[in-house]
Every structure is written in C-alpha cells, then in structure tokens.
Amino acid sequence: MQSLAFYDSPLGKMSIAADEEGIVGIWFCGQKYDQRSVDPHVQKQETPMIAEAKRYLDLYFTGKEPPFTPPLHLLGTPFQMLVWRLLREIPYGSTCTYREIAQKVACEMQRNSMSAQAIGSAVGHNPISIIIPCHRVIGSDGSLTGYAGGIERKQYLLTLEGALRT
C-alpha cells in the first residue's frame, strides 16, 4: 500500500509517496509527471518512511548535504534504473552533462554510443526529485536545460549546493 504526504519547501509544495519498501516519488506539485507513479488507492498519511524523506529535505534546504538517504523503491525500466543510478553518483555541489551520462551508459551497456536524447528522457522521468539529483545534469554548453520542476527551481537547487554562482 502506498502513502502520500506533502512537504512545504522553499520552492513550493512537494508531494512525497512511499510504500513499505521505500520512497517511490518526490515531486514539486504541478511539475511534469507529478505523482505519476502513485497508486490510485493511495492513503494520504505520513509514515516513518515519509518522515525520513522530510528530514532529508529539511537538511537539504538548509544548504547542507544530508549524511543519509532514506530507503528508495524505484519503479522503472532497466534503462531508467541505470540512468537513475548514475545520477546518484553525481556529487553534491557538482554537475554532469547529458553527454557524459550518455558515455557512461554506453560503456556500461557495452555500446559504442548512446543518444543524449534517450538519457534526457530517462532523466526527465526521474520520480524522486532532489534525492536522485537530476537537477545536476546540464547541457554540454553549460546551459540549464530540461528540468521537470522548472528551470528556476533547477537554478535555485544548483545555487544552494554551490554548483552555480549567481
């Protein structure tokens, strides 16, 4: 059974969904793909798993890298899972390009190349904002592109982490 609760962030309300295994989603309310993996019979309640995610977000939004990660229960294709794992390897306060991720995916899949557009699609469907840091992925030219929560939020998050100077 899934549970759903809300979190008031400096960037607006967020929804957090969890099941017995872990967090299945964290989205900015109204963003692209908001709550797409939430069961229609979700219970609106805060669970210990959701409380742990809120504690993570509280620390994160104070500008500190949280020293823990709440349990996650990712639901996606094997390709998406690979991309999301690579996103989690991008260090706090750093960025990575879609091209760099495409090269890593190609290497892991033992291919000569991988489409940056395919990577962009997997990154864009990341269901767990902030904890799986898709906001740290930028264009090859350094541009802030493609964030389901909006470019303004991406800029804020990268600035908060010290990856962008304003």
Q: Where are the domains of the chain?
A: 3-60, 78-161
> What six digits make up the tokens of 160?
């908060």
Answer yes or no: 134 catalytic.
yes
Q: What is the SS3 string spanning 89-146? A: CCCCCCCEEHHHHHHHHHHHCCCCCCCHHHHHHHHHCCCECCCCCHHHEECCCCCCCC
Catalytic residue among 29, 96, 107, 134, which?
134
How many Cβ atoms sit within 10 Å of the Cβ of residue 71?
12
Q: What confidence score (pLDDT) does residue 72 get?
A: 97
Please tell me the distance from the alpha carbon of residue 83 to that of residue 37, in angstroms, as a whole number: 18
In this structure, which CATH number among 1.10.10.10, 3.40.50.720, 1.10.1760.20, 3.40.50.1100 belongs to the domain 78-161? 1.10.10.10
- CATH architecture observed for domain 3-60: 2-Layer Sandwich (3.30)
Please tell me the distance from the alpha carbon of residue 4 to that of residue 2, in angstroms, as a whole number: 7
Facing residues of 8 across strands?
13
What's the pLDDT tens digit per position in 57-104? 999 999 999 999 999 999 899 999 999 999 999 999 999 999 999 999
| Residue stretches of the chain with pLDDT short of 50 | none
Q: What confidence score (pLDDT) does residue 147 get?
A: 85
> What six digits make up the tokens of 131?
């904890």
Dihedral angle sign, alpha carbons of residues 14, 77, 56, 96: negative
Q: What confidence score (pLDDT) does residue 1 get?
A: 87
Q: What confidence score (pLDDT) does residue 89 get?
A: 97
Contact predicate 74/82, CB 8 Å? no
